[in-house]
Amino acid sequence: MTLDNSRRRFLRSLALGGSALALASCDRLAQGGSFDALLRETEKLTLRAQRALQGRHALAKEYTEADLSPVFRANGTQMPDSDEYASLLENHFADWRLKVDGLVQHPQSISLDELKRFASRTQITRHDCVEGWSAIGKWQGVPLGRILDVAGLKPGARYVVFHCADELEQTLDGSGRYYESIDLVDAYHPQTILAYGMNGKDLPVAHGAPLRLRVERQLGYKQAKYLMRIEVVDSFAAFFGGKGGYWEDRGYEWYGGI
């Protein structure tokens, strides 16, 4: 019996209900190889059920080079407007450091060269902005989990807050500065990376140079650009509007699941 045949019979037995399924299964038991086919079908059902249950652990779809968008639009800040950023850029980010602090055992100050020496991950994914546009890009960077492991989480750690270089509004209390946050499930997701490369080149300024977050199961506004500091916290209630991000403080969902 061919696989196609056995699949058809399996599906038909499902349509016919329990007793027919029992008969079909016995039939299969007698036939060895086709019983394997039945198992494979069952496995597929289990996988689908698991994915549905796991939800946030599932991988975002990855694409191929042929799918890359010819134009990847830049959105939000495209050049941070500060003297500090201007001088970092002028020096090709040689003086830039990623600070990692908060609820960590070993606070870090990591240069771009050091980041590039960690094993990297490259992924081609689709970016979806709430404003209604999407683009497929290739991202290269260090898994965030690797950096968190180097820093060592302290008990009580629950969220990772990303502090960015750009201000969207000039305010006295700093609440106009872009920031974002994710929980540790997303922080340790294999596709969550600190990206320094885009489409095979250094991350362009318009897209967040020298470093941005890619958290692929979530919407565009979670993909914080111009990273300066990563802070591990037990709550983000004390930051600015208390909702965990610049746009969240202005009404967007904190979990921007796609």
3-state secondary structure (DSSP) of residue 227:
strand
Q: What are phi and psi of 232, to 5 degrees?
A: -95, 130
Q: Which is nearer to ligand MTE, 10 or 159 (CB)?
A: 159
Footprint on residues 100-159 left by ligand MTE (CB under 6 A): 129
Please name every residue paired with 232 in a beta bridge, in sequence order, or none if there are none: 102, 160
Footprint on residues 198-217 left by ligand MTE (CB under 6 A): 206-207
Judged by CB under 6 A, the residue of 100, 164, 195, 230 near ligand MTE is 164
Instruction: Decide: is 244 part of the binding site for ligand MTE (CB under 6 A).
Output: no
Judged by CB under 6 A, the residue of 166, 216, 231, 248 near ligand MTE is 166
**Interface stretch with ligand MTE, choices 55-63, 70-78, 228-236, 249-257 (CB under 6 A):** 70-78
Cα 162 from Cα 222, distance rounded (Å): 10
Judged by CB under 6 A, the residue of 225, 239, 240, 244 near ligand MTE is 225
Instruction: Decide: is 221 part of the binding site for ligand MTE (CB under 6 A).
Output: yes
Please choose, from the candidates 64, 171, 153, 150, the residue with its C-alpha nearest in 3D space to the C-alpha of residue 103. 153
Cα 85 from Cα 225, distance rounded (Å): 13
Q: What are phi and psi of 129, to 5 degrees?
A: -95, 140
Q: How far is CA 115 from CA 38, 48, 179, 225, in A?
A: 48, 36, 21, 16
Report DSSP letters for 132-151, one per residue.
S-EEEEEEEEEEHHHHHHHH
Residue 164 binds which one of ligand MTE, Mo ion, none, with CB within 5 to 8 A depending on kind?
ligand MTE
Judged by CB under 6 A, the residue of 85, 96, 139, 226 near ligand MTE is 226
**Which pair of structure tokens corresponds to residue 120?**
């990297």
Footprint on residues 171-200 left by ligand MTE (CB under 6 A): 178
The binding site for ligand MTE (CB under 6 A) comprises 73-77, 129, 164, 166, 178, 206-207, 220-221, 223-226
